[in-house]
Structure 1
């Protein structure tokens, strides 16, 4: 006897993902040919993987490719900012972390050292280190994130403007 409070397992799909992927590839090829275009996959779609998810090509697919070519592109038609944003953020976080630890430990050590000849100043230095250094580190992380997001947003605006200009030229010609 089954417990009525236990939910039933979800039903299995009617077809395997690989079969769905093969039929989607065939449908994309047929749709392209029927539309008067070339027989082949739909532009911008490289097919469907074995999970049934369509793979994109073009700018999105080139994110991990051609980094050195983009780096040494003297015409600046390809941007590397989006590719390096996470690296810059990680390096910035590490730098902020190192600065935080050194300032925190240094402030505590100097505060303890000052307790012998100036007890009030030593306590004030220890308390200000415990309060001020973490707050400054937090603001540094926020500022770092803001600067990197601003750069990425600026590059995204430039890329979108370039795509809009290309589409306008194609539509007007």
Structure 2
């Protein structure tokens, strides 16, 4: 039985790094645990939203931050539309039974089948559109990062 390999130890202990950081001679971006913290776009996810929103040069993206909000609002709108259409279809179908029994039954059955299918497809399309936008922004961010890290001859 082989012994599991342990991960390599850091070059300097966390205590030494935190002491150096506290004295001003430390490494930028390292907290008192010795673990580098996120710096850059990932660090700014919760901050600077308004400045990014009103960035007229469009150098910072807000799509990833707002994707979940748009998805939630879309789901609520689809849910309200589903309930309203479903109830309207059932009430109209029941009302139609007085004048046209076959038409009323057809309207009730089509409401029971079509409205849930259309609502499901609407959720799928909403998710697809939001994921497409987020993927497009991720491609743009990765391309920008790649271009910044590529040597220019």
The normalised TM-score by structure 2 is: 0.81
Gaps of 5+ in 2: 1-12
Per the alignment, in what secondary structure is the counterpart of residue 37 of structure 2?
strand
TM alignment of 1:2-151, pairs within 5 A: 23-24=13-14, 26-27=16-17, 39-41=25-27, 45-47=29-31, 55-151=37-133
Q: Distance in 1 between matches of 2:63 and 2:42?
A: 14
Query: By how many angstroms is 1:123 displaced?
Result: 0.5
Measured against aligned partners, the alpha-carbon deviations of 1:71-118 in whole angstroms (never above 9, x if no partner) come to 000100000000000000000000000000000000000000000010
Normalized per residue, which structure has more strand?
Answer: 1
4+ aligned runs moved over 4 Å, structure 1: 27-30
Q: Distance in 2 between matches of 1:46 and 1:117?
A: 77
Q: Distance in 1 between matches of 2:15 and 2:146?
A: 29
| Residues 25/76 of structure 1: CA separation in 2 closer, same or farther (3 Å cut) | farther
| Greater length-normalized contact order (CA 8 Å, ≥ 6 residues apart) | 2
The answer (yes or no) to whether the contact 1:46–1:57 under 8 Å persists in 2 is: no
Q: Distance in 2 between matches of 1:68 and 1:46?
A: 27
Query: By how many angstroms is 1:54 displaced?
Result: 5.4
The answer (yes or no) to whether the contact 1:48–1:54 under 8 Å persists in 2 is: no
Q: Count residues with an aligned counterpart.
A: 138
Q: Distance in 2 between matches of 1:78 and 1:147?
A: 20
Per the alignment, in what secondary structure is the counterpart of residue 45 of structure 2?
helix
State the Cα RMSD in Å: 2.4
Query: By how many angstroms is 1:141 displaced?
Result: 0.2
Q: Distance in 1 between matches of 2:143 and 2:72?
A: 29
1:163 aligns to what? 145
| Residues 86/75 of structure 1: CA separation in 2 closer, same or farther (3 Å cut) | same
Per the alignment, in what secondary structure is the counterpart of residue 55 of structure 1?
coil
| Residues 163/58 of structure 1: CA separation in 2 closer, same or farther (3 Å cut) | same
Query: By how many angstroms is 1:46 displaced?
Result: 3.8
